[in-house]
Structure 1
Amino acid sequence: MSTDFAILAFFSLMLTYLLICEIFTILFRLTGLTEETARFQVISMLTTCGFTTAESELVTSSRKRRKLAFITILFGYIFSVTIVSMVINFFMRLNDGYSFQLILKVVSAIIVLIIIWYSLLKVNFVKNNFDKFISKIGIKAMFKNQHNPIMILGIFKSEVIAEVTITNLPEEFNNIQLKNSNIRVNYNLQILTIIRDGDETLSVNGDTILKNGDKVIVFGSLKNIKKLFIKEKDFL
């Protein structure tokens, strides 16, 4: 293996590693974890550091999250072994007379990696479309219309703003107008926006009727959101 190829392979692997981290973060967010918690747990599992904090109960208490955690940890072990093997092989082939050029190539590769990763996380168009693509695949693969995935968008003290993808319409909304659903009385929830047919944003009023495929932006306590939209027997 040439030094140039080793550098290219190593940083390609690192980019893949970062992408895998982002993908699993999105998948864990679909199970109702906040982005901060999901990312922390994914990084802990991928780096094989474990997830021994009190928040680990959020993972172990759910059957779907346990399965997802098993796959994440498996990816972590595979990547760790591969990266260590490549680093050892790289340094064994290192030639002292080639050190300066090698440093330039490594620095260039790091800059390219940072630019690519920055564009993925910071450019809204790229990140939003990437999130939508992974979410769409994750919803079909993980839930199969048995559970309405909840993605937390913001936390405000004891309440949250969450995006709920309706794959299994709750009975409270079955051919019932929002004004007759009593979700404010029974669940103290407020529906802010409805996204239908991809990117069409609907104005919410009392006559609105929800249907499968809608993305609902809802405000209220996470406990009540889960109580309304999740079938616990299918989720746990």
Structure 2
Amino acid sequence: MSTDFAILAFFTLMLTYLLICEIFTILFRLTGLTEETARFQVISMLTTCGFTTSESELVISSRKRKKLAFITILFGYIFSVTIVSMIINFFMRLKDENSFLMIVKIIIAIIFLIIIGYSLLKVNFVKNNFDHFISKIGVKVMFRNKHNPIMVLGIFKSEIIAEVSITNIPDELLNKKLKNSYVRSNYNLQILTVIKENRKSEPVTGETILENGDRIIIFGTLKNVKKLFVKEKQFQ
């Protein structure tokens, strides 16, 4: 294996590692974890540290999360072994190459990796489209459209702002205008935004009727959000 190929393979693997980290973070968020908690746990698993801290109880309390954790840790072991092997091979071949040229190639590869990583995490257009694509696949694979996945976007004391992807609309909302659904009075929930399948947001009024395929931004307690949108046995 040439040194150029070793560099290309190594940074391709690192890019794949970054994508895997983002994908599993999104999948864990679909089970109700915040982005911060999901990313921390995924990084812990992929780096073979296991899932750590008291927040690990959130992982083992759900069957779906435990399955995801097993797959994530498996990926972590595979990547760790592969990366170590490639690093050893790379340094064994360094003596046959011009050191200055090698440093330039490595710097270029690192810059490229940083640009891709920054785009995935910070550029809204790229991140939102990537998140939406993975979420759509995750909903079908993990929940088979029988469950309305919840992504926690923010926590405010005892309440949250969450995004709910409606794939199996609750009976309380089926063909009902919001003003007749008693969402606010019975569940103390406030629907802030409705995003239709064309990905355009619509203003929320008492006349709004939710449909399968809609995504909503909602405010209230996680317990009440789950009570309305989640069949607990399916969520677990």
User: Which TM class, normalised by the smaller chain length?
Assistant: over 0.9
Q: How does 1:104-143 map onto structure 2 within 5 Å?
A: 104-143=104-143
Higher deviation after alignment, 183-192 or 100-109: 100-109
> In the alignment, what sits opposite 1:187?
187
CA–CA distance in 2 between the matches of 1:174 and 1:119? 39
Q: CA deviation at 1:190?
A: 0.3
> In the alignment, what sits opposite 1:93?
93
> In the alignment, what sits opposite 1:76?
76
Provide the aligned length of Structure 1 versus Structure 2.
236
**Sequence identity, in percent?**
78
> In the alignment, what sits opposite 1:229?
229
CA–CA distance in 1 between the matches of 2:224 and 2:234? 17
> In the alignment, what sits opposite 1:13?
13
CA–CA distance in 1 between the matches of 2:162 and 2:177? 21
CA–CA distance in 1 between the matches of 2:167 and 2:116? 34
Q: How does 1:142-153 map onto structure 2 within 5 Å?
A: 142-153=142-153
Q: CA deviation at 1:116?
A: 1.6
CA–CA distance in 1 between the matches of 2:211 and 2:172? 11
> In the alignment, what sits opposite 2:201?
201
Change (3 A) 1:97 1:128: closer
Which amino acid is 1:46 matched to? L
CA–CA distance in 1 between the matches of 2:119 and 2:132? 16
CA–CA distance in 1 between the matches of 2:222 and 2:212? 21
CA–CA distance in 2 between the matches of 1:61 and 1:207? 38
> In the alignment, what sits opposite 2:44?
44
CA–CA distance in 2 between the matches of 1:80 and 1:196? 41
Corresponding residue SS for 2:59: helix
Q: CA deviation at 1:96?
A: 6.8
Q: CA deviation at 1:183?
A: 1.6
Corresponding residue SS for 2:33: coil
Corresponding residue SS for 2:216: strand
Change (3 A) 1:97 1:87: closer
Which amino acid is 1:195 matched to? I
- RMSD of Structure 2 on Structure 1 (CA): 1.3
CA–CA distance in 2 between the matches of 1:216 and 1:142? 20
Q: What TM-score does the superposition give when structure 2 sets the normalisation length? A: 0.96
Q: CA deviation at 1:82?
A: 0.3
Corresponding residue SS for 1:171: coil
Q: What TM-score does the superposition give when structure 1 sets the normalisation length? A: 0.96
Which amino acid is 2:220 matched to? G
Higher deviation after alignment, 60-69 or 173-182: 173-182
Which amino acid is 2:121 matched to? L
Change (3 A) 1:64 1:82: same
Q: CA deviation at 1:139?
A: 0.8
Q: 1:183-227 CA deviation, whole Å, 9 max, x = no partner?
A: 212211001111112213222111222121111110111111111
> In the alignment, what sits opposite 1:62?
62
CA–CA distance in 1 between the matches of 2:198 and 2:144? 19
> In the alignment, what sits opposite 2:103?
103
